[in-house]
């Protein structure tokens, strides 16, 4: 921001704490992204290095016209800034700049280097960005001030640890400082002043005045002045000021947490009430039509499929078959003859197998949940073979495909179902399974409410105590101020803080206070920096806000222990732009650790905002495919702060991150997601669940790429629920399957190296139950005894991809529009269609 003194002369320039990041541009030159806001207008300034001192940057119009930029000296003596100048406003005494008002793409030539400025218009204003700053500052202080102290207060409730100790230290400091205020140490200095005759302490000046005027009523005599403005009292005022500042910071952070818990409790109460009272569920017509269109697309792809390789062998045949389960060989299924087809000799085989071309196999695999009967016309080789166990089977190998005829009326049935939904006003009665699921979620929600209100009560109590203590310290400080005591942070060299018990008690209480604050790894000098974080450079604020939310989810919600000294690293990463800031978290009970890297350097020179990797730290490593590194999973997350997106803008941005920047190469899973604050960015909605209109979890791409909404403005207590669900994808795909064992009595037990995503507690063996599908494959129910959240770990019956059913709140798989407990496989798109089966 610039306060202009006169044309071309700045009186004051307020510079953002961090510069905008410049990236190389694919077409040559460099590119920078800037933002203009609706209620404040920062300048975009360019500062050049010493090697460019003689160069004048020029602003280039679309027609190719060049205009020299305005050079303005920084009043602080920090060099010069180059600005886009569109004239001087004599009335308002300020320069004008198109870059402050208009979005678009602009070009600036600096010597032979081209800088492309992508100026984006944001509907966010000062208050919106300040909300991120306040939330970020509050969470950061809460983590550092409360978490370390809370670790020493196990069993007392969240917030009680830091709150109790801070309140005790404040009370001790107040009591000692009150004793000092009642009888402060003073210095006595001799001076001279006119005094009444009866009170004069005579000196030479007194006798001279008396000799000149014997009748004088007052004479100058010796006086002794008492002053409380001693070095000890000045340092005491410093201690009081620091304590009040820390206490105010705690109250501010705790108040934000209390407000969050209030909103969370009210939302969970409403969710639980709605779940218990629900009889009918609304069906989103767009989601239903989209799923119908997906079926039609698959049928059209089958109808259009044709593969005629030049080296095909076998006779041309028209084979009507019914596809069964997958065979162990690649691109193969078990099959059976349709009624009336085939020869009697074929009855002598034990089973039948069909081998399909790879592309055709994938199409069939994705269609089996609504069609199993096909007539395939093409080159086919048919022969009877025998297994090692002397079982005879017929093997059909299609060497070419001329035509495919799917035999299904699924589209007609869905058209009929749609008419029924229209008649019922797009409402369906809940199934028994859905009722049970909603009741279970209501019970879990009520447990969350109980815990949230308990924490809210303890935090509110600490807010009241510390707020009252801070006000009393402020009153003591005001009393010292009335005595003429100034403040000084220099520790006095005298012995009064040792010899005087009241002063010694003040110093002892203050040291306890500082020790409590610095126990979190944050020295007092950083408190001022955190408190003065500005709102300029909103994209950087949002990125740091996302970092803090990821950090809190890992530690608070998923129970990971951060590395020693994390506080100092987190503060440093939050206040400055650092590359390769690496944080480690561990869970010894699961032999698992997480590595979160901010601004991770890639070999290509690119730096994604966040790279999170899940790594085995023990014997579990041998059970995974990557035995050398022990990596169990990972994800790349890039924060993009926008107020709106153009149609297709998020998809285009995601393609740029993957195809142009290669972010998918940063983790072995290739999982890349955008974090952004806008709601309703998915058209049509990808899921009938509540997140469907706001998030794309890559439900048709095995959850490898997509975007989620996370922000403070409109989400309230749900600000990070979508982010939590995203991290759930990473961890659930990293968990190994439960292992079978036996207890001391020979009973079968199951051990799961996993934790509950509702509360972070590990799934104990007594809460893990196995059940078996019709094919004999196991699936597991994992109940949390602590919070009641249940996960079902199963697999797709078509492609065997792992599936996780986390209820209607935490399930990230796509689900059937009119039956939300029925998940759709992210690998092949299959789901259990009760009508079809």
CATH number at residue 302: 2.40.50
- Residue 701's contacts (CB-CB under 8 Å, 6 or more residues apart) are 826
564/689 same-domain check = yes
Residue 710 has pLDDT above 50, yes or no: yes
Q: How confident is the model at residue 153 (pLDDT cuts 50, 70, 90)?
A: very low
Give the ranges where 519-627 is alpha helix by DSSP (H): 524-531, 538-552, 566-575
Q: How confident is the model at residue 164 (pLDDT cuts 50, 70, 90)?
A: confident
563/525 same-domain check = no
Average pLDDT, integer, range 564-568: 84
Average pLDDT, integer, range 619-637: 66
Q: Look over the chain and give the mean of its residue pLDDT values, rounded to a whole number.
A: 87
Residue 398 has pLDDT above 80, yes or no: yes
Domain limits for position 773: 739-823
What's residue 137's pLDDT?
A: 85
What's residue 159's pLDDT?
A: 41
Average pLDDT, integer, range 542-558: 93
Q: What CA–CA distance (Å, rounded) separates 731 from 621?
A: 15
Residue 717 has pLDDT above 50, yes or no: yes
661/724 same-domain check = yes
Domain total of the chain:
5
499/523 same-domain check = yes
Share of the chain above pLDDT 90, in %: 49
- Residue 632's contacts (CB-CB under 8 Å, 6 or more residues apart) are 592, 614, 615, 616, 620, 624, 734, 735
What's residue 152's pLDDT?
A: 38
505/588 same-domain check = no
Residue 620 has pLDDT above 50, yes or no: no
Q: What CA–CA distance (Å, rounded) separates 803 from 806?
A: 10
pLDDT tens readout for residues 476-519: 999 999 999 999 989 998 888 889 999 999 999 999 888 877 77
Helix (H) or strand (E) holding 511: helix 501-518
Report pTM: 0.85
189 found inside a domain: no
Helix (H) or strand (E) holding 126: helix 126-142
264 found inside a domain: no
Q: How confident is the model at residue 217 (pLDDT cuts 50, 70, 90)?
A: confident
The answer to whether the CB of 554 falls within 8 A of the CB of 596 is yes
The answer to whether the CB of 331 falls within 8 A of the CB of 363 is no
418 found inside a domain: yes
393 found inside a domain: yes
What's residue 160's pLDDT?
A: 45
212 found inside a domain: no
604/667 same-domain check = yes
What's residue 363's pLDDT?
A: 92
Who has greater pLDDT, 633 or 719?
633
Q: How confident is the model at residue 667 (pLDDT cuts 50, 70, 90)?
A: very high
Residue of 242, 204, 239 lying closest to 220 (CA atoms): 204
What's residue 473's pLDDT?
A: 94
690 found inside a domain: yes
Q: What CA–CA distance (Å, rounded) separates 690 from 227?
A: 69
79/162 same-domain check = no
Who has greater pLDDT, 16 or 531?
16
Boundary residue ending a domain (734, 758, 785): 734
Average pLDDT, integer, range 605-609: 90
What's residue 40's pLDDT?
A: 80
411/487 same-domain check = no
Residue of 509, 482, 472, 433 lying closest to 166 (CA atoms): 509
How far is CA 534 from each of CA 16, 34, 77, 550, rounded to the nearest angstrom?
8, 17, 21, 22
What's residue 4's pLDDT?
A: 94
Tell how far CA 224 is from the center of its chain. 66
474/622 same-domain check = no
Boundary residue ending a domain (531, 547, 579): 531
What's residue 158's pLDDT?
A: 36
Q: What is the bridge-based pairing of β-strands 815-816 and 819-823?
A: antiparallel
pLDDT tens readout for residues 18-68: 888 888 877 788 999 888 887 888 899 999 988 888 899 999 887 778 899
560/682 same-domain check = yes
What's residue 623's pLDDT?
A: 46
Q: What CA–CA distance (Å, rounded) separates 147 from 435?
A: 39
Residue 701 has pLDDT above 70, yes or no: yes
Which of 148-152, 287-291, 292-296, 778-782 is the least confident region? 148-152
pLDDT tens readout for residues 315-361: 888 899 999 988 989 999 999 988 755 555 566 899 999 999 999 99
808 found inside a domain: yes
pLDDT tens readout for residues 95-113: 999 888 888 889 999 988 9
Tell how far CA 488 is from the center of its chain. 42
How far is CA 79 from each of CA 1, 5, 82, 272, 579, rounded to the nearest angstrom?
16, 17, 10, 60, 26
Q: What CA–CA distance (Å, rounded) separates 483 from 526?
A: 31
The answer to whether the CB of 463 falls within 8 A of the CB of 269 is no
Share of the chain above pLDDT 70, in %: 93
Boundary residue ending a domain (95, 121, 147): 121
The answer to whether the CB of 143 falls within 8 A of the CB of 568 is no
409 found inside a domain: yes
730/743 same-domain check = no
Residue 624 has pLDDT above 60, yes or no: no
Q: How confident is the model at residue 397 (pLDDT cuts 50, 70, 90)?
A: very high
721/672 same-domain check = yes
Residue 382 has pLDDT above 60, yes or no: yes
């Amino acid at each position: 921001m610039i306060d202009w003194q006169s044309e071309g002369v700045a009186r004051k320039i307020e510079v953002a704490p961090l510069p905008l990041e410049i990236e190389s541009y694919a077409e040559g030159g460099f590119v920078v992204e800037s933002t203009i806001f609706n209620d404040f207008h920062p300048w975009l300034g360019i500062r050049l290095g010493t090697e460019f001192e003689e160069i004048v940057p020029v602003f280039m119009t679309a027609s190719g016209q060049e205009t020299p930029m305005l050079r303005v000296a920084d009043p602080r003596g920090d060099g010069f800034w180059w600005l886009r100048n569109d004239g001087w406003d004599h009335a308002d005494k300020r320069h004008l700049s198109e870059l402050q008002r208009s979005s678009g793409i602009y070009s600036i030539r600096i010597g032979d280097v081209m800088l492309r400025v992508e100026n984006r218009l944001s509907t966010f204003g000062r208050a919106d960005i300040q909300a991120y700053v306040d939330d970020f500052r509050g969470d950061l202080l809460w983590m550092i001030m409360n978490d370390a102290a809370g670790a020493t207060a196990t069993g007392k409730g969240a917030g009680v640890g830091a709150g109790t100790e801070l309140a005790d230290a404040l009370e001790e400091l107040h009591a000692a400082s009150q004793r000092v205020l009642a009888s402060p140490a003073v210095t006595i200095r001799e001076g001279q002043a006119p005094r009444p005759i009866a009170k004069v302490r005579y000196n030479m000046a007194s006798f001279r005045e008396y000799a000149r005027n014997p009748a004088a009523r007052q004479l100058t005599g010796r006086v002794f002045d008492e002053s409380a403005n001693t070095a000890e009292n000045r340092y005491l005022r410093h201690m009081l000021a620091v304590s009040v500042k820390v206490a105010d910071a705690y109250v501010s952070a705790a108040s934000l947490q209390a407000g969050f818990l209030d909103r969370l409790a009210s939302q969970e109460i409403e969710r639980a009430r709605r779940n218990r009272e629900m009889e009918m569920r609304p069906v989103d017509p767009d989601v239903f039509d989209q799923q119908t269109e997906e079926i039609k697309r698959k049928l059209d792809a089958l109808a259009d499929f044709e593969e005629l390789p030049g080296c095909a062998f076998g006779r041309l045949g028209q084979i009507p078959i019914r596809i069964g389960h997958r065979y162990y060989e690649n691109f193969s299924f078990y099959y059976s003859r349709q009624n009336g087809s085939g020869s009697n000799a074929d009855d002598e085989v034990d089973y039948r197998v069909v081998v399909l071309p790879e592309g055709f196999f994938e199409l069939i695999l994705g269609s089996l949940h609504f069609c199993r009967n096909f007539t395939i016309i093409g080159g086919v080789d048919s022969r009877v073979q025998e297994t090692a166990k002397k079982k005879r089977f017929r093997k059909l190998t299609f060497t070419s495909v001329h035509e495919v005829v799917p035999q299904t009326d699924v589209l007609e049935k869905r058209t009929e179902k749609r008419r029924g939904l229209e008649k019922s006003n797009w409402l369906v009665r809940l199934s028994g399974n859905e009722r049970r699921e909603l009741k279970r979620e209501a019970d879990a929600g009520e447990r969350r409410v109980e815990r949230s209100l308990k924490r809210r009560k303890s935090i509110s109590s600490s807010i009241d105590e510390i707020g009252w203590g801070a006000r009393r310290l402020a009153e003591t400080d005001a009393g010292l101020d009335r005595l003429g005591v100034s403040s000084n942070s220099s520790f006095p060299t005298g012995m009064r803080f040792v010899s005087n018990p009241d002063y010694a008690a003040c110093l002892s209480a203050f040291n306890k206070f500082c020790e409590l604050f610095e126990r979190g790894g944050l020295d007092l000098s950083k408190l001022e920096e955190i408190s003065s974080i500005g709102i300029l450079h909103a994209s950087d604020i949002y990125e740091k806000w996302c970092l803090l939310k990821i950090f809190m989810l890992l530690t608070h919600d998923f129970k990971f222990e951060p590395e020693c000294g994390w506080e100092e690293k987190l503060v440093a990463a939050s206040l400055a732009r650092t590359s390769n800031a690496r944080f480690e978290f561990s869970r010894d009970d699961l032999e698992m650790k997480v590595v979160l890297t901010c601004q991770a350097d890639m070999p290509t020179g690119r730096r994604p905002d966040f790279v999170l990797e899940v790594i085995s730290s023990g014997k579990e490593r041998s059970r995974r495919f990557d035995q050398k590194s022990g990596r169990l999973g990972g994800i790349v997350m890039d924060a993009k702060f926008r107020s709106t997106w153009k149609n297709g803008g998020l998809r285009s941005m995601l393609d740029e991150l993957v195809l142009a920047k290669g972010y998918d190469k940063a983790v072995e899973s290739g999982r890349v997601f955008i974090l952004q604050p806008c709601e309703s960015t998915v058209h049509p909605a990808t899921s009938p669940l509540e997140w469907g209109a706001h998030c794309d979890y890559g439900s048709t791409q095995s959850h490898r790429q997509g975007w989620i909404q996370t922000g403070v403005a409109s989400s309230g207590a749900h600000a990070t629920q979508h982010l939590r669900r995203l991290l759930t994808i990473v961890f659930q795909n990293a968990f190994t399957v439960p292992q079978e064992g036996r207890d001391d009595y020979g009973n079968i037990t199951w051990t799961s190296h996993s934790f509950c995503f509702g509360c972070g507690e590990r799934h104990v063996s007594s809460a893990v139950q196995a059940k078996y599908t019709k094919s004999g494959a196991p699936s597991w129910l994992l109940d949390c005894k602590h919070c009641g959240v249940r996960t079902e770990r199963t697999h797709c019956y078509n492609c065997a991809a792992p599936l996780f059913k986390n209820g209607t709140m935490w399930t990230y798989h796509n689900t059937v529009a009119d039956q939300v407990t029925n998940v759709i496989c992210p690998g092949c798109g299959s789901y259990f269609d009760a009508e079809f089966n």
